Structure 1
Amino acid sequence: MSHLSRRDLLKLIAASTALGSSQSVADSDNRVEAARFSERISLSQWCFHRAIFGNSRDNYSQFIKTLHQSPDDVLLGRLDPRDITKLSRQLGVDRVDLVNILFFGHAEDKPWLDDFKLRAKDNGVSFQLLMCDETGAIGASNAKARQQAIDNHKPWFEAAAYLGCKQIRVNAYGDGTYLQQLHQCAESLAVLASIGNDYGIEVLVENHGNASNNGAWLAMLIELTNHPNLGVFTDLDNFFMGGWGLNPERRYDRVQGLIDLAPYTRGVSVKSHDFDASGRETTLDYPKLLQIFQNAGFNGLYSAEFEGEHMSELSGTTATIRYIESALMANAG
């Protein structure tokens, strides 16, 4: 996608959307029925991170350094981060989940944010959630480091409120034993949840690395913090014990993890990697997994997040949305 011009990318949207509709699990005769389930779906800006970043993440350590020193210099792709509003509208989704590192230099840039808000209004979409990364370790063993992480989140609370977001996602990163991290993260989360209260924004923790990829640990963290403005943004696939990229890979059982987290879930990240010819995700059984949340009484949004490398970001995102719709239809039937 990053090799396309922005004009070509936007021209492809309508055609790709139509193609995705005809090739999805829900065939064209079911589109009217599926449309009513689209109200339960949001679109993650991360679906198009390659089109936005280009090749800037190829050297990841340099990417992180540049992100903090000169954040706009990592935006080497052809897609403006604000164009997610056009893509969302064309894909038939009216709520967008934002990712702070895709516009890392603009948290306090009111003219830029004003333009983003205007584009959203013009396209009839709104912002639901802001995911915060690279803001420090809220579970650090050092108290000053924990306070710095809290302070680093404050501009993003302000930006989220300014853009009209309803939720903000944070990471429960820290050091020490699982028990130490549990208490350190809980201390910081109580503060962040109270800050969120002041802005009318829910604070959600994602299973997004290290201790938080243990479903039981994250469930205990929410219970220990015990704040009414705190919940979980549950990712269907982030259950890599000890972090990503380990060999051999170690995982917390996915189904057990979702059962652990479902009672605390206030948003779901519906990850996808690849799809077969019938439109089913090849690694995740959406109907089975989403039923866990429905059984727990979840009535929030399912955020489409395509991560695959074997399809274009546009085709993969379209397929993800269609499969979520079909799963919700199947579970309702």
Structure 2
Amino acid sequence: MQRRTFVKALSSIAAASAIPPLFCNVQANSKSFDIALSQYSFHRSIFGDSQKNYQKFIQLIHSDPDAVLAGPMDPREIVVIARKLGVGHVDLANILWFGHGQDKPWLNQFKTMAKDNDVGFTCLMTDELGQLGSSDKKQRLAAIEKHKPWVETAAEIGCFQMRVNAYGDGTYLEQLEQNAESMIILAEYTQNMGIELVIENHGHPSSNAAWLAMLIEKVNHPNLGVYTDLDNFFMGGWNHSPQRRYDRTQGLIDLAPYTRGVSAKTHGFKDNGQELTIDYFAALKILTDAGFSGFVCGEFEGKSLPEMLGSQATLDLLRKTRKQIQNS
């Protein structure tokens, strides 16, 4: 499918699915949250088959990033899709447009498209920028410098948060110390740029919620918080089998006091619309009971539905859950 016909095709799907009209995200109830759509929900439409050889994919991200954009969807079309799905805010992923972070004409067109569709940007998710928790201080400093241009990008396009990864090497304690040194520097830099810095529980030690909570407390900076993923509580590397998991309920309790944004992943749905493995009401109520009232970003990761329909089902689940929490 050619890119010029991609959004037209999505329009037909949206119309057939009776998607509700655009709504205002601001909620009067304090025990509530706003809803956003993750750009990464459409990574297959953007990347096409380029991720099948993942090692080659990563190499191309750094050498020829536009070469991985092999799908029919232009990454900027997410604002058109969000509008069709009735959502006024989008979380962005730098990996989906890695070659355009400092491309002013490209970014200006992105901003124009967002304005035309009455869609705003929330968090910029950053990956492939080096290890902020490396045992090598030179590598840590290099990673900080690689993050700085993306902070400027986040400010340029109107994001108010930037998500980073607490990746490194060594023991848990060593990685805690090494990441803390970098996060202090980045928290100051992002604050000066008007961007809030958030760390996601995103594999390795960060998926151990107690460790991530300790990192936030050690840094102790008002501009640093957590971007809590409802699903990423597997510890160790990405490919460990069997997975070692931190208890999700305990993890959410641990991270709730520091949560400033939420990634609400879905992989599939039961007949009643609930997610297959995550109790959304229980999970989000833990966070709202602790005072969270920011953006919960729906991210469909499943393969059983087309990305458009899976995203619609995810957003519908979030709307239903929000209403249940408001009425609880």
**TM-score computed with the length of structure 2 as normaliser:** 0.94
Aligned to 1:275: 269
Aligned to 2:50: 56
Aligned to 2:298: 304
| CA deviation string 1:140-180 (max 9, x = no partner) | 00100000000000110111110011000000001110001
Q: Residue type matched to 1:139 in 2?
A: G
Aligned to 2:222: 228
Distance 2:107 2:181 in 1: 31
What is the aligned counterpart of 1:112 among 92, 106, 112? 106
Return the offset for 1:249: 1.8
Contact 2:35 / 2:296 at 8 angstroms: preserved in 1? yes
Return the offset for 1:37: 6.0
Aligned to 1:13: 10
Return the offset for 1:209: 1.1
Aligned to 1:43: 37
3-state SS, counterpart of residue 188 of structure 1: helix
Provide the aligned length of Structure 1 versus Structure 2.
321
Distance 1:212 1:103 in 2: 25
Mapping 1:237-316, distance limit 5 Å: 237-316=231-310
Aligned to 1:152: 146
Distance 1:38 1:9 in 2: 30
3-state SS, counterpart of residue 111 of structure 1: helix
Aligned to 1:202: 196
What is the aligned counterpart of 1:324 among 313, 318, 323? 318
3-state SS, counterpart of residue 319 of structure 1: helix
Distance 1:12 1:262 in 2: 40
Distance 1:277 1:37 in 2: 27
3-state SS, counterpart of residue 227 of structure 1: coil
Aligned to 2:31: none
Unaligned runs of 5+ in 1: 23-30
Q: Residue type matched to 2:282 in 1?
A: K
The 4+ residue runs of structure 1 with deviation greater than 4 A are 18-22, 34-39
Q: Residue type matched to 1:120 in 2?
A: A
Work out whether 1:165 is the aligned partner of 2:162: no
Task: Please provide the CA RMSD for this pair.
Answer: 1.7
Return the offset for 1:279: 1.4
Unaligned runs of 5+ in 2: 28-33
Distance 2:112 2:25 in 1: 26
Return the offset for 1:243: 2.5
What is the aligned counterpart of 2:78 among 74, 80, 84? 84
Of Structure 1 and Structure 2, which has the larger fraction of its residues in helix?
Answer: 1
* Distance change (3 Å), C-alpha of 1:36 and 1:86: closer
Work out whether 1:99 is the aligned partner of 2:99: no
